[in-house]
Every structure is written in C-alpha cells, then in structure tokens.
C-alpha cells in the first residue's frame, strides 16, 4: 500500500566524488537521479588535487 | 543541475517535495561549445576559486579545463555588463554560437523525489583569522590546497615551485600539521581531519620530485597514516624521498628582517629549542563543514554532532536522523577519497533499500532503428569536418581540408559543420547518412575520448552499426597545439583525415556483446560486513546466498563491546543476525566453504562444501568477499609466559567477567602497535588506538586512583575519535611515545611486571610497575585468503588483504567484473567503515543485478581460427585471464586454438601485440587497421 | 630545406592519448611532425607495426603508455 506511493527518483546534493559515485550507482540500478551542484561544474575538491597517493596517480 | 541549491525539503521518506533554486549562468549551455573566445576577450580578472586564490580567472569562465559540463558561466559579482548593462558585452560580440544571455534569470524548481542524498562536502579551514601562522600577511605562507595548485601542471605556475613573494625557486619548505584540526583554542575544531597527514606527505614527496635537492620538513604531533598502503608511503617518504619529520607542534611563523624568509621555532628531539629558516611554509589545513552546509542541514532538518558533522549511527553510517535523507562523504565526518567514494555507493544502497518497489519506475531506455547490414557493400565514406566555432577553423584552412578529403579513396561525401556536435548537426548527419547511403563515417573534430560516444549514437540513430565511425582529432592534437603555424596545421589536418579515412575503410560492424545476468548474489563471510551486504541486497529484492565458515554468524564483532561512539555492539549484531535469519531472500549456509568457482560476471557457478562434506552448486551473478581477518598472536612482551600480559580482545573479556587480576589491578599499561607497522606487517591496524583509549577510559572511570599508561608510536584516533583521546588525557591517562628503535621492554617479576620505556619528553628511560599489560595486537589477513582469491581470480596485496580495482575510485570493486570486497578482508577498519563498505559493495552489485543482461563494449579480442595454432603465448600476457586453450578439429585432424571469453576481455590487445601469427585481433584496432593508419600517415 | 622528421606515436587511449588531449586543452605548442595513432593499450602495438612504420619511412616511432 504505502510502497505504491514511493517515487523512483533521488536527489543528490553535491557533485563531488562522493555525490557522483552515489548518482552513478543509483542511475545504474534503475533510479532517476537529480544531481544538484552549487557551483558551475561537478568535480568537487578532488578535481583540484594534482596527484593522489599512494600511487601518485593523476587525480583527473 | 549546476549553480543550484536546495532551499526546502518537504514530505516524507519515499515522497519528498524538494525546492531547488538555480542561479542564472548567463550562458546557454545548449549553445556554448566551450571554445573560450569569450574568456579571451573578457577584460575583468578576479581570483580563481579553483586555483585556491593562487591564480586569476575572468568574469566569464569555466571552472577548470576538464570541467563537466564544459560550459562557460558568468560571475555576476565580477561581470561588468551585469553590474552596468551596456558597459562591456565583449563576450556576446565574440560568441559565434550566440550562447551569451545577459537576461538569464534565477529559476525555482519543484522536484518530486523518493529520497535525498546529501553529499555537500567540506571546506578547508581558513587560517587567516588565527593570525599566528602569518597566513594572509606573509605571501610565502600558503595552504596545502594552494601548494596542490602550484604543483599542478594545470596550476598557475605550471608545476614550478616558486615563492609567491619574489618568484625565487623554493629550496626549503616546511609543512605544519593540524592547522585547524585537533585544536580547540585557535579554531574550535577539536577533531582530527584524518586526511592532512597523508596529503602533506604526498605533497612533500611530489614537491621533492619537482625540485631536485628540495629540503622538506613536516612538523607534526602524530603521523596518522592509517589507511591502506599509507604506512608504506610514509616509510618511502622517509627512506627514498628523504622527507624530514619532526614531532613538534609549531606555534607560529615569523619573518626575519626585510627578507621574505620565514622563521620557525621548535623543540628538537634532544629537547632543545631551535630556530630554522624556510623559503615557504605550507599549512596543512583541516576540513570543516561550511556555513552554507550547516544551513542545508537545517533546511533538511537533520541532527549534527558537536563537531558539526551529520550525526549517524555506526551501524547505519549513511542514514541521517531524518528518514529518507542520507549522507555520505565528508559531511558525516572528515574522511579521505576512498572512504568518501565508499559512502557514496553506500548511500546508493541505502536509497535502493528504501525505494526498491519503485525501481525502474522512472528510468527509461532509448530505442534505435534496426541496423543495416553493410558487410557486402563497397565502402562509402562520409567525412564531416568541424569548425568548432573558430577553434579549428581559425587555424586550419578547413575549406582546403574539405577539398582534399573529397579526393581520398572511397570518400563519397564531404561536408563542413560549424559545430559537428550540436544537436542540429547530429540530425543533419543522420539525414546525410540515409540520403547519401553512407556506410562509413569520419568526423574530423575533437577527441574521441569525449565525443566518440556521441557520434556512435548518431550512427545508431541512422541505422548504421555504431563502430563504423572514426574520429580525426584535428582540434586537441592539431589546431590547439599548432595555433601559430596554420600552414603545417592544415597539412597535418589533411594527414589526420587521410589516416582516419584509411582506417574506417577497414572498419566492420561489431556486435555489442551482452550476457544474461543471474539475478542472485553470493556473499562469502557471515560477519557484520557480509551480513550487511547480504541483507541490503535482499531488501533490494535480490536472492542472496550467505556462506559462513563457522557455525555462527557475527564474525569478529562477537568479540567486541562498543563502537567508538559508544554503541553497544552485541545488541546491534544480535539485531542484524535476527534480520538476516528472518529474511527469506537470504539463504544462509553455515559451516560451509567455497571449493570451486566457474563462470564470469552475471554467470558464476560456485560450489560450496558443507561441514558434512556435501556439495552444492550455486548460480549467481555477483560475488562479495567479506571473509574478515584474524588477530595476530604476539611473541613478545612476555605474552607467551605471563598471565598478566593479554591482548586487547582478551582484556575486554576478562574485564567484562570481572576477573580478579583485572579487578584488583592498580597499574595498567597498554602497548600499541604490537605486530603492526613493523617488519612484514608494514600497515597500521587502524582500530587499536581507539580501542585502547576506550578501554583505558573505562578502567580509569571505574577507579580514578588507577594508574593507566598508553605506550604508543603515533596516536591514531582519527576523525571525530579524537574526542576520546582528549577525554583520556583530561582524565589523567598517561601517554608515552616510543619509537620503533626503542620499543618498550616487559620484564616478568612474578607478582607484577616491569615495563621499561624511553620517555621522549623527559629524555630519560622510565620504569613502570604494571599489574597488567594489554597488547594492542595487529589485525592479520586470513591465511587462506589467497586460496579464495585464486578460486575467484581476484588479487590479494603484498600483506595478504584483498586488492581492490582502484585505491581511490573503485574501492569495493575487484578488477574482475562482478566481484566485490567489503570489511576486514580488504583492510583493517572499524565497524562503521565495514558497514559502509558492505553497503557500497551491495550498491555496486545491484547495478548489475538490477539488469537482465549486461552489455559490453564490442572492442574485444577475437581469434582468427585460420592463423591461430594454439601456441598459447597470449594466455600468459592476458591480464584478465580471458583466454583459454581449446581443441579444434579440421579435416579430421585435432589441433589446438585459443578461445576468448568476451565477458572477461577488456580489449586491451596485449594478445594481439604478442601473437607471432596474427591469430588474434581486437575489433576496431586490427593490425590491418593500424597498418593502414601508418601507411596513410607516411604516404605524403 | 631543413630536415623534417616524420614521427609515429602509438598512444594508449587511457593515458598518453588523454595527455595529448590535455596538451591541447592547455594550448601547449609542440612540433607538428608527430602523427598519433590511438590504441587501446600500448601493449597492443605489435613489433611488426613498429617495423612497418620504420620501413615505410618513419624517422622515429614512439610507443607511449
């Protein structure tokens, strides 16, 4: 009964690595996702980093 | 939705009404092609947020070169026109695409959703206010994020490390840790930010790579390198890179006379005050929740902790206090990238649990016309040359390229477009393919890495196989990098088009491969991680087999009492077990082990062997390894000989049972890092510092007259756990630091123990009489982990823990598709992190299980039976174990050849590069195709 | 006329090809003599292809991955 009222969409607030991962996983498993980001582009703090440890991979 | 903020959340779990305010961008994203002409002309410069204030940006800008969406935006605070209409407007004049819209307005959206996930992130602590570090006054005092930008090739100095004040090369740099963390006086942030130790080490190592001979010193209180592979990174930074570590909190940075040099005073290891000069000081600033996010928390109506992070339970680490609203990332406590990514997936699992009945309700699948068979047709190549506004056309003479392309073999149609990627051009290309009967397409434009998927869709829409397109990268690899040499750029564009046209001629229709998925899961390990993952998948509606080696569910959690935040573990574990047992979608196999595994993603067949020797084959689409870890049994500190020396877990038990030695003891000594961070176990067990501090607080609380000592190397009460460390110190628990070269000694004196340790603050040896010594023993990988790894063809690392596909971005996936890892099997971690990882593994698994079939990219290796003679050289080089040897029969003769499992193959072509007989090829990148490109490249 | 070498570069789609793209985004200028051939992994480049390129007149071959 109650389940019928559930909406199959999700809003993710924040477009950093965390929000993006959440959004991708939900979209990939059959939900409609709204990704809301405050700034002009997604990416968050990780996009500012030069390299990441422990492998010193580029973080882009 | 960018430039958007949530202003209200009404409704309840399953059915929320969210109000989103979208700020105007003043640039039409459908029209903007990110050519950059507007930015070039914009006269207004302001500090760039992306470069953390180290560089400038214009008033019309793109956040960073690789931004998604790669669309420009106007900063209304800086734009001259928006402040005074008519005053400037250069961008509007130069925009060929007509994307500038100064009349853009704020929009309010009302959106109906079933759940909300909050992942708003953090901000760096601003050290300006505190004044002591000279930040904001001394240009050579910078934050770690600013250094990150200076070191970056895309940063303001293109990776050259120079002093901001005078652009002098930096020879000596100091990092100050815990700026804005673990400090209630200067910043009010008592917690540890968890990530700064690691990023400081990384930046020091990379800075030393950039500047040969650079001296880098890190001033710290405790080195908190508790994550996977972090300890080794620390050791390498010391031994290989020569980064200097000084254990001392520095209280201020001063200047020296009129120079820009910076003076730091500190206490060295000999206890003397010394002063030292540096060219640059980097502040390892902590993470904190921004004010705007606190406002969001209030809008969402959720509870926060005293440290201003979202409040959660350790057994539901992504659930906020309001049902249907979830949290992940640094919003619920400072954390590093892998843990944030884990929580991102975990939140997805929690949402899927809530909204399972509404799955697929709103998502849609696109439909395409039937594909035309072109295998018997002569190639008819269509070439589309993109101007990319002026990006290509201002350098390359596109008309000449067009003329030239028409002369190439098989090319029957050529056309130029202002923007090949725009929607109207897409429609036009579809039309041309149909009316000109084209069967191969060359797009001479930008990079296939971003745009090939788009053009593949275009071909599909035209009824052509999507793999019959080839891109010539005449922008990124040509007009942008030879912008001052139009003659050669035009010649090169012709070459690139010729190469692409040559290759596309040999393109054949590749069939996308799809494999059906058995929508069932297999979870190995019945501890907290395994049960959490299994239960979540079951709640999402999937049948799950849970295999447990012993006769009890619960795993290591059965030995534990409280989580760091004080939640009672036995109660929670009991609840979890009950839920698992009550859920009819979870099939529990106790006293069972895996004996054989066959198959691949979507189609595994695993044999489990029961305690009675019976076997059973289970078909499943995904597998989650959550087999836990063991506790190391120490061989030092008189553990083997004295009853008064016990491990942490043993101590908890004795303490709970009020055993007489423990009850009557007056002097307690905890020794940390027993079996961790040394020798072969060069990793931190992560949980022991917090565990010992908690136990110490308990015994001290029971009887404040007790003397409680903790002998440690670095206290690693990371994140909000720092609260416990602070409390312990306030209670009078004595913390004594020791170094690996001066480990404590325990001498058994019969009635009591004598512990000898060198005190680094008093600078003399210390003798402590102890009634009981508690050893914080290491978490060890299970010795049979490797066997299981071999069965599932997944890797373990050098320590024996299961190795994930990517340390940062795929923390629960294995490189083998369809396999996931969670809990201690991956690395030591506290319960809340195990739960998050288990949920994440379930979410990742659900992305496969929610589909009937998984479609794979068609760029795969195929065997050419005519040439393959089964020499098997390719078997060893295949990193995905996708190739097997089979027998064939030709004209009655039995021979051998290889077989490629397309579901496992990733199309890397190592086999093709190895094969001496051309017996194996990768579709879309055959030897013939590459040869044709070489030939075309060198033809003129 | 001065000598203009012809260079063939095999670039891995996931790293060096992406790096070449980024060089473009960053507007770095470099000599025009290089012709990049995209491969899915540098390991895909068969030794014969390198010989092929040299045999057909390439003055240099780079395999980047």
Flag whether pLDDT at B639 surpasses 80.
yes
Nearest Cα residue to B564 out of B455, B442, B449, B724: B724
In a domain, A23, yes or no: yes
Q: Would the CB atoms of B119 and A8 count as touching at under 8 Å?
A: no
Pick the CATH number of B123-288 from 3.60.21.10, 3.50.50.60, 3.30.950.10, 3.40.50.720: 3.50.50.60
Pairing of strands B107-113, B645-647: unpaired
- Give chain B's mean pLDDT: 92
Per 3-state DSSP, chain A is made up of helix, strand and coil in percentages (nearest 5) of: 35, 25, 40
In a domain, A14, yes or no: yes
Q: Where are the domains of chain B?
A: 24-105, 123-288, 291-357, 381-508, 631-780, 860-922
In this predicted structure, which of B444-458, B511-525, B704-718, B886-900 has the lowest mean pLDDT? B886-900
pLDDT digits (tens, 9 = 90+) for B370-419: 888 888 899 999 999 999 877 899 899 999 999 999 999 999 999 998 88
Give contacts of B 494-513 with A, CB under 8 A.
Answer: none
Domains B24-105 and B123-288 fall in the same CATH topology: no
With helix as H, strand as E and coil as C, how does B731-768 read? CCCEEEECCHHHCCEEEECCCCEEEEEEECCCCEEEEE
| Alpha helices (H) along B180-275 | 196-210, 230-239
Between CA B262 and CA B487 the distance in angstroms is 52
For chain B, report the end-to-end CA distance as a whole number of angstroms: 48
What pLDDT was estimated at residue B156?
Answer: 82
Among B121, B201, B363, the residue with its CB nearest the CB of A45 is B121
- Tell whether omega for the bond before A54 is within 30 degrees of 0, i.e. cis: yes
- Tokens 């480049």 locate to C45
Flag whether pLDDT at A56 surpasses 60.
no
3-class secondary structure, B790: helix
The model's confidence at residue B591, banded by pLDDT at 50, 70 and 90, is very high
Give contacts of B 497-516 with C, CB under 8 A.
Answer: 499
Between CA B886 and CA A44 the distance in angstroms is 49
Flag whether pLDDT at B494 surpasses 60.
yes
Domain B24-105 fold: Alpha-Beta Plaits (3.30.70)
The whole model's pTM is what? Answer: 0.82
3-class secondary structure, B51: coil
> Which region, left, alpha or beta, applies to residue B213 given φ > 0 means left and ψ of -120 to 50 means alpha?
left
Look up residue B492 and give its two tokens: 């090169």
What pLDDT was estimated at residue A57?
Answer: 44
In a domain, A32, yes or no: yes
* E-only strand ranges, B381-504: 381-386, 411-417, 440-445, 469-473
The model's confidence at residue C1, banded by pLDDT at 50, 70 and 90, is low
Flag whether pLDDT at B364 surpasses 80.
no
Chain A / chain B CB contacts < 8 angstroms: 243
Q: What are the two backbone dihedrals, phi and then psi, of residue A5, each rounded to the nearest 5 degrees?
A: -85, -10
Look up residue B573 and give its two tokens: 């574990």
- Chain C interface, best mutation among B444, B477, B490, B864, by max C CB count within 10 A: B477
In a domain, A20, yes or no: yes
- Shortest distance between the Cα of B457 and any Cα of chain A, in A, equals 19
Among B344, B352, B362, the residue with its CB nearest the CB of A9 is B362
The model's confidence at residue B718, banded by pLDDT at 50, 70 and 90, is very high
Between CA B575 and CA B578 the distance in angstroms is 5
The larger pLDDT score, comparing residue B669 to residue B184, is at: B669
In a domain, A54, yes or no: no
Strand partners, B727: none
For residue A32, the chain B residue with the least C-alpha distance is: B363
| Cα atoms found within 13 Å of the Cα of residue B781, Cβ hemisphere only | 25
Look up residue B396 and give its two tokens: 């390359």
Look up residue B480 and give its two tokens: 């942008």
The larger pLDDT score, comparing residue B777 to residue C2, is at: B777
pLDDT digits (tens, 9 = 90+) for C10-56: 999 988 998 898 888 778 899 999 999 999 999 999 999 999 999 99
Give contacts of A 29-48 with B, CB under 8 A.
Answer: 29-32, 34-48
Tell me yes or no: is domain B860-922 CATH 3.30.300.130. Answer: no
Look up residue B548 and give its two tokens: 């447990």
The model's confidence at residue B783, banded by pLDDT at 50, 70 and 90, is very high
Q: Would the CB atoms of B449 and C18 count as touching at under 8 Å?
A: yes
The distance of Cα B547 from the centroid of its chain, to the nearest Å, equals 29
Flag whether pLDDT at B153 surpasses 80.
no
Between CA A52 and CA B867 the distance in angstroms is 44
Flag whether pLDDT at B535 surpasses 70.
yes
Among A6, A16, A50, the residue with its CB nearest the CB of B148 is A50
3-class secondary structure, B114: coil
Nearest Cα residue to B152 out of B65, B252, B239: B65
Using CB atoms, list chains with 3+ pairs below 8 Å to chain B: A, C
Q: Does B446 touch chain A (CB under 8 A)?
A: no
Nearest Cα residue to B749 out of B590, B638, B905, B601: B638
The model's confidence at residue A55, banded by pLDDT at 50, 70 and 90, is very low
How far, CA to CA in Å, does C44 sit from each of B736, B859, B880, B912? 56, 12, 14, 6
Q: Does B451 touch chain A (CB under 8 A)?
A: no
Nearest Cα residue to B879 out of B856, B845, B853, B913: B913
Between CA B500 and CA B477 the distance in angstroms is 14
Structurally, at CATH architecture level, domain B381-508 sits in 3-Layer(aba) Sandwich (3.40)
| Cα atoms found within 13 Å of the Cα of residue A12, Cβ hemisphere only | 32
3-class secondary structure, B501: helix
Query: Could you tell me which residues come within 8 angstroms of residue B749 by beta carbon, excluding any fewer than 6 positions away?
Result: none
- Shortest distance between the Cα of B139 and any Cα of chain C, in A, equals 27
Would you say B358 and B447 are in contact if contact means Cβ atoms under 8 Å apart?
no
Between CA B567 and CA B563 the distance in angstroms is 5
Structural domain boundaries enclosing A19: 9-39
3-class secondary structure, B226: coil
Contacts of A1 in chain B (CB under 8 A): none
The model's confidence at residue B773, banded by pLDDT at 50, 70 and 90, is very high
| Alpha helices (H) along B637-687 | 648-656, 660-664
In a domain, A35, yes or no: yes
Would you say B341 and A20 are in contact if contact means Cβ atoms under 8 Å apart?
no
Contacts of B233 in chain A (CB under 8 A): 53-54
Q: Would the CB atoms of A8 and B361 count as touching at under 8 Å?
A: yes
Flag whether pLDDT at B38 surpasses 60.
yes
Q: Percent of chain B, pLDDT > 70?
A: 99
- Tokens 């002026």 locate to B390
What pLDDT was estimated at residue A50?
Answer: 67
Among B915, B930, B938, the residue with its CB nearest the CB of C57 is B938
Query: Could you tell me which residues come within 8 angstroms of residue B714 by beta carbon, excluding any fewer than 6 positions away?
Result: B222, B223, B224, B737
Contacts of C18 in chain B (CB under 8 A): 449
Look up residue B337 and give its two tokens: 């990238």
Q: Would the CB atoms of B934 and C52 count as touching at under 8 Å?
A: yes
Contacts of A54 in chain B (CB under 8 A): 228-230, 232-233, 807
Q: Would the CB atoms of B337 and A46 count as touching at under 8 Å?
A: yes
Contacts of B846 in chain A (CB under 8 A): 25, 29
Q: Does B860 touch chain C (CB under 8 A)?
A: no
Indicate the length of chain B as a whole number: 940
Q: Does B2 touch chain A (CB under 8 A)?
A: yes
Q: Does B809 touch chain C (CB under 8 A)?
A: no
Q: Would the CB atoms of C49 and B934 count as touching at under 8 Å?
A: yes
Would you say B467 and B453 are in contact if contact means Cβ atoms under 8 Å apart?
no
Would you say B187 and B180 are in contact if contact means Cβ atoms under 8 Å apart?
yes
Residue B87, class by beta-carbon neighbours within 10 Å (0-12 exposed, 13-18 middle, 19+ buried)? exposed
Q: Would the CB atoms of B908 and C40 count as touching at under 8 Å?
A: yes
Between CA B291 and CA B304 the distance in angstroms is 13
Q: Would the CB atoms of B485 and C41 count as touching at under 8 Å?
A: no
Nearest Cα residue to B899 out of B878, B924, B925, B927: B878
What pLDDT was estimated at residue B357?
Answer: 87
Stated as kind and residue range, the H or E segment containing C31 is: none
Chain B / chain C CB contacts < 8 angstroms: 114
What pLDDT was estimated at residue B637?
Answer: 95
| Alpha helices (H) along A1-60 | 17-28
Nearest Cα residue to B434 out of B374, B505, B386, B376: B374
Q: Does B111 touch chain A (CB under 8 A)?
A: yes
| Alpha helices (H) along B211-290 | 230-239
Strand partners, B747: B754
Mean pLDDT across B564-582:
96
- Shortest distance between the Cα of A60 and any Cα of chain B, in A, equals 8
Nearest Cα residue to B50 out of A49, A21, A18, A60: A49
Residue B704, class by beta-carbon neighbours within 10 Å (0-12 exposed, 13-18 middle, 19+ buried)? exposed
Between CA B310 and CA B410 the distance in angstroms is 63
Q: Does B65 touch chain C (CB under 8 A)?
A: yes
State the total domains in chain A. 1
Angle, to 10 degrees, between the axis of helix B927-937 and the axis of helix C47-55?
A: 20
Give contacts of B 474-493 with C, CB under 8 A.
Answer: 475-478, 480-485, 488-489, 491-492
pLDDT digits (tens, 9 = 90+) for B829-858: 999 999 999 999 999 999 999 988 887 788
Domain B631-780 fold: FAD/NAD(P)-binding domain (3.50.50)
Q: Does B843 touch chain A (CB under 8 A)?
A: yes
- Chain B interface, best mutation among A2, A4, A14, A37, by max B CB count within 10 A: A14
Q: Would the CB atoms of B484 and C32 count as touching at under 8 Å?
A: no
Using CB atoms, list chains with 3+ pairs below 8 Å to chain C: B
The distance of Cα B848 from the centroid of its chain, to the nearest Å, equals 20
Q: Would the CB atoms of A51 and B348 count as touching at under 8 Å?
A: no
């Amino acid at each position: 009964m109650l389940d019928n009222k559930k909406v199959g969409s999700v809003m993710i607030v924040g477009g950093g690595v965390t929000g993006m991962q959440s959004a991708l996983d939900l979209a990939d498993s059959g939900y409609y996702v709204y990704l809301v980001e405050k700034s002009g582009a997604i990416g968050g703090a990780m996009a500012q980093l030069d390299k990441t440890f422990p492998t010193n991979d580029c973080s882009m | 939705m960018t430039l958007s903020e949530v202003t209200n959340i009404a409704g309840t779990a399953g059915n929320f009404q969210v109000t989103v305010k979208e700020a105007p961008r003043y640039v039409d994203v459908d029209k903007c092609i990110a050519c950059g002409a507007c930015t070039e002309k914009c006269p207004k410069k302001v500090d760039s947020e992306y470069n953390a204030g180290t560089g400038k940006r214009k008033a019309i800008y793109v956040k960073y070169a690789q931004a998604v969406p790669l669309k420009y935006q106007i900063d209304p605070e800086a734009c001259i026109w928006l402040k005074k209409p008519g005053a400037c407007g250069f961008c509007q004049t130069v925009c060929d695409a007509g994307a500038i819209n100064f009349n853009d307005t704020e929009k309010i959206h009302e959106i109906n959703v079933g759940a909300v996930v909050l992942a708003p992130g953090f901000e760096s602590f601003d050290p300006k206010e505190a004044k002591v570090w000279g930040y904001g006054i001394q240009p050579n005092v910078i934050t770690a994020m600013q250094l990150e930008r200076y070191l970056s090739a895309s940063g303001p100095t293109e990776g050259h490390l120079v002093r901001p004040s005078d652009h002098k090369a930096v020879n000596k740099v100091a990092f100050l840790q815990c700026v804005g963390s673990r400090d209630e006086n200067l910043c009010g942030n008592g917690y540890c930010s968890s990530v700064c130790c690691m990023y400081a080490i990384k930046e020091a190592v990379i800075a030393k790579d950039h500047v040969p001979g650079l001296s880098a010193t890190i001033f710290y209180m405790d080195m908190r390198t508790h994550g996977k592979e972090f300890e080794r990174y620390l050791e390498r930074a010391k031994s290989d890179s020569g980064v200097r570590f000084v254990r001392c909190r520095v209280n201020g940075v001063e200047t020296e006379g009129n120079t820009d040099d910076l003076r730091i005073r500190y206490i060295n290891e000999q206890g003397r005050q010394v002063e030292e000069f540096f060219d640059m000081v980097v502040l390892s600033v902590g993470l904190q929740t921004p004010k705007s996010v606190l406002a969001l928390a209030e809008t969402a109506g959720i509870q926060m902790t005293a440290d201003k992070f979202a409040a959660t339970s350790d057994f539901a680490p992504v659930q906020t206090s309001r049902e249907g609203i979830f949290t992940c990332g640094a919003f619920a406590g400072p954390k590093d990238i892998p843990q944030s990514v884990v929580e991102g997936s975990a939140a997805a699992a929690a949402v899927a649990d809530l909204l399972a009945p509404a799955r697929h309700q709103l998502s849609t699948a696109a439909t395409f016309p039937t594909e035309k068979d072109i295998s018997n047709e002569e190639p008819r190549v269509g070439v589309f040359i993109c101007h990319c506004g002026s990006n290509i056309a201002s350098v390359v003479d596109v008309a000449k390229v067009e003329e030239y392309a028409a002369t190439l073999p098989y090319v029957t149609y050529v056309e130029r477009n202002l923007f090949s990627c725009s929607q109207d051009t897409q429609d036009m290309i579809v039309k041309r393919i149909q009316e000109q009967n084209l069967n191969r397409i060359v797009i001479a434009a930008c990079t296939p890495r971003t745009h090939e998927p788009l053009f593949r869709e275009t071909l599909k829409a035209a009824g052509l196989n999507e793999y019959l397109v080839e891109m010539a990268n005449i922008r990124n690899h040509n007009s942008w990098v030879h912008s001052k040499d139009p003659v050669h750029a035009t010649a090169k564009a012709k070459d690139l088009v010729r190469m692409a046209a040559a290759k596309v001629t040999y393109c054949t229709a590749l069939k996308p491969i799809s494999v059906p998925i058995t929508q069932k899961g297999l979870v190995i390990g019945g501890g907290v991680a395994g049960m959490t993952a299994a239960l979540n998948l079951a709640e999402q509606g999937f049948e799950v087999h849970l295999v447990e080696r012993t006769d009890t569910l619960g795993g290591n959690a059965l030995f534990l009492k409280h989580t760091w935040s004080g939640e009672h573990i036995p109660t929670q574990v009991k609840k979890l077990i009950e839920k698992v047992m009550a859920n009819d979608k979870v099939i529990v196999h106790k006293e069972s082990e895996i004996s054989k595994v066959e198959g691949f993603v979507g189609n595994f067949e695993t044999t489990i062997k029961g305690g009675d020797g019976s076997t059973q084959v289970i078909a499943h689409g995904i597998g989650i390894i959550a087999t836990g870890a063991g506790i190391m049994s120490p061989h030092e500190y008189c553990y083997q000989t004295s009853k008064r020396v016990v491990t942490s877990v043993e101590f908890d038990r004795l303490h709970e049972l009020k055993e007489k030695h423990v009850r009557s003891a007056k002097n307690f000594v905890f020794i940390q890092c027993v079996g961790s961070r040394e020798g072969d176990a060069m990793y931190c067990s992560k949980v022991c510092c917090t565990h010992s501090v908690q136990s110490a607080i308990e015994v001290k609380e029971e009887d404040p007259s007790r003397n409680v000592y903790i002998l440690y190397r670095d206290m690693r009460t990371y994140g909000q756990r720092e609260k416990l460390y602070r409390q312990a110190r306030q209670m009078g628990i004595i913390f004594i630091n020791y170094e690996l070269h001066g480990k404590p000694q325990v001498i058994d004196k019969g009635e009591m123990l004598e512990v000898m340790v060198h005190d680094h603050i008093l600078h003399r040896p210390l003798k402590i009489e102890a009634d009981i010594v508690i050893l914080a023993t290491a978490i060890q990988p299970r010795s049979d982990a490797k066997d299981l790894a071999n069965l599932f063809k997944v890797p373990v690392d050098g320590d024996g823990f299961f190795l994930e596909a990517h340390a940062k971005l795929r923390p629960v996936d294995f490189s083998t598709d369809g396999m996931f890892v969670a809990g201690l099997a991956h690395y030591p971690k506290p319960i809340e992190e195990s739960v998050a990882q288990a949920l994440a593994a379930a979410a990742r698994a659900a992305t496969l299980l929610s589909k009937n079939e998984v479609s794979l990219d068609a760029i795969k290796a195929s065997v050419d039976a005519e040439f393959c003679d089964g020499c098997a050289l390719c078997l060893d080089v295949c990193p995905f174990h996708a190739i097997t040897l089979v027998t064939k029969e030709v004209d009655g003769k039995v021979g051998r050849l290889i077989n490629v499992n397309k579901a496992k193959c990733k199309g890397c072509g190592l086999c093709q590069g190895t094969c001496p007989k051309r017996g194996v090829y990768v579709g879309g990148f055959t030897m013939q195709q590459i040869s044709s490109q070489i030939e075309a490249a060198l033809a003129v | 006329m001065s000598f203009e070498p012809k260079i063939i570069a095999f670039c891995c789609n996931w790293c060096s090809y992406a790096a070449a793209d980024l060089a473009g985004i960053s507007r770095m200028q470099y000599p025009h003599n290089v012709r990049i051939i995209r491969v899915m992994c540098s390991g895909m480049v068969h030794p014969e292809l390198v010989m092929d390129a040299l045999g057909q007149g390439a003055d240099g071959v780079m395999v980047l991955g």
